[in-house]
Structure 1
Amino acid sequence: MDRATLADIAHRRHPVAAPVGVDRLRELLGWLAPPAGGRVLDLGSGYGVWLLEFLTVREDLTGVGIDLALPETLAEATQESGVGDRVRWEQADATGWDGGLFDVVLCVGASHAFDGLAGTLAAVRQHLRPGGQAVLGDTFWETTPTPAALSALEAAADDAPDLPGLLTQVEQASFEPGFGHVSTVAEWDDYEWSWAASLVDWALREAPTAADREQALSVAREHRQQWLAGYRRVLGFATLVLHDIAPLQETRP
């Protein structure tokens, strides 16, 4: 099986492809205030949870989700959400996609597609209408990264900042951070346990061949070990609401 198929199985019970609970997702989206009839873009939309949730709450908005590999479950999730034709999914490389400006840009857990935080912020800026808002979700080091964490993640220490450094980079990109959420240990644990357990459950109950079963179990075991013995309580995840500060239009008496 390829990585996309394994990822789809791993996210069956946690379609938010990040250590963020649904209640926190909704709280973060509640800080967004696009104008009536506004447009929303989700860069690296994954399973579509962020965009579908926002369009469900705001029935006056339309949205576009971009991802290099759209999951098979997306059509069913879209139908169940009831957003109808207000959303469009495009299978495309988000780094080269150009679809105009949007009032809100969502980009959560997709910085790998833009070669890191700086590239992600540049992509958000490229698609954001002046005065718009964005939701950015990215990793940071909770503590000094250990050799075990770096090995598990196949990362270098300078691949991610600490939390103050993350905010500094956001500000240097001319965004004003507003509300934010740092994923709790419980959110991380729920995400990681669900990731591995979904593969185990599929392997033991649904795998069509012995080879598929062993592959899924092997991936689950390796991922669980990398998390528990590697980056647990070392790697953090922050989701931030960002504001583009439009020039103030002064009025004269």
Structure 2
Amino acid sequence: MHRDDISRLAHTHHPIAAPVGDTAVDRLLQRALPAGSQSPTRARALDLGCGQAEWLLRTLAAHPHATADGVDISGPALDAASAAAEARGLADRLTLHQVPAADYAAPTPYDLVLSIGSVHAFGGLLPTLDAARAHLAPGGHVLIGDGYWEREPSPEAVELLGDFRDLAGTVEQVTAAGWTPVYGHVSTREELDDYEWSWTGSLAAWALDRPEHPDRDHALAVATAHRTEWLRAYRATWGFVTLLVRRTHD
């Protein structure tokens, strides 16, 4: 089973592909494009590494005159995004692009650029902000989410997830690069656990419901391995922060 198919199945019950709950998602998007203000009536949003484009779909649902572009390399994820947009009556305002996020070029800038849990596409947090800046309209917002260490990680956790900073160091890194946080959300333990249980449980449930499927055993093995890594290697040390930032000097 291809990793794109695994990811699609694992996010069945948690379409936001990050440990951020529905209430926080709505609050972050409301801060990024406030309802009732002048700009959202013609706002443009871009998600670099959109996956199934759930952030964009919720943005479009909240702002009936906004348009959005989603960029991802995963065909299955973009197919799912397209189907969801059709089902929710948003397809005419969402354009999907199957290209590497670093290669995407647009003729006009965006009021909101998102990259949540996708900074690996650019090689890290600061390169992602650099890429977002190239697409950002003056005064626009970037909504970016990445991991951090809540406490000293084990070598196994670093090997699995990467070498993050702590929360304060992550924010300082962003501000030193010329960005000012205007809002943020630190994922709670409930959000972190809900995401991991949903990821592993959705994939495992798919396999258990299909005892004769040729990919059943592989899907169960992936779910089991992921659950073990989470519980034993990084649950106690890894956190996730979503920052809403603007350029300190446009």
Give the whole-Å Cα distance in 1 for the aligned partners of 2:211 and 2:105.
40
The residue aligned with 2:51 is 46
Deviation at 1:154, TM superposition (A): 5.5
From 156, 174, 179, the counterpart of 1:175: 179
Q: Is the 8 A contact 1:37 1:62 kept in 2?
A: yes
Corresponding residue for 1:238? 241
Cα displacement (A) at 1:76: 2.1
TM-score, normalised to structure 1, is 0.91
Q: Who is 2:129 aligned against?
A: 121
Partners of 2:68 and 2:104 in 1: how far apart? Answer: 15
Per the TM alignment, residue 244 of structure 1 is displaced from its structure 2 partner at its CA by 2.4
**CA distance, structure 1, for counterparts of residue 88 and residue 62 of structure 2:** 10
* Matched residue, 1:251: none
| 1:222 and 2:194 are equivalent in the alignment | no
Confirm whether residue 166 of structure 1 aligns to residue 173 of structure 2: no
Alignment of 1:91-102 (within 5 A): 91-100=98-107, 101-102=109-110
Could you list the runs of 4 or more consecutive aligned residues of structure 1 that deviate by over 6 angstroms after TM superposition?
A: none
Q: 1:74 aligns with which of 76, 81, 84?
A: 81
**Is 2:93 the counterpart of 1:86?**
yes
CA spacing shift, 1:75–1:145, aligned 2, 3 Å: same
TM-score (norm 2): 0.92
1:238 counterpart letter in structure 2: V
Choose 1 or 2 for highest CA Rg. 1
1:148/1:64 CA distance change after superposition, 3 Å? same
Instruction: Tell me how far apart the structure 2 counterparts of residues 137 and 86 of structure 1 sit (CA, whole Å).
Output: 24
3-state SS of paired residue (1:176):
strand
Tell whether the 8 Å contact from 1:131 to 1:245 is kept in structure 2 after alignment.
no
The answer on 1:11 being equivalent to 2:11 is: yes
Query: What is the rounded CA distance, in whole Å, between the counterparts of 1:11 and 1:207 in structure 2?
Result: 20
For 1:22, the equivalent position in structure 2 comes to 22
RMSD after superposition: 1.5
Q: 1:41–1:105: 8 Å Cα contact kept in structure 2?
A: yes
2:32 is aligned with 1:32: yes
In the alignment, structure 1 segments of 5+ residues that lack a partner are 248-253
Report deviation, 1:67.
0.5
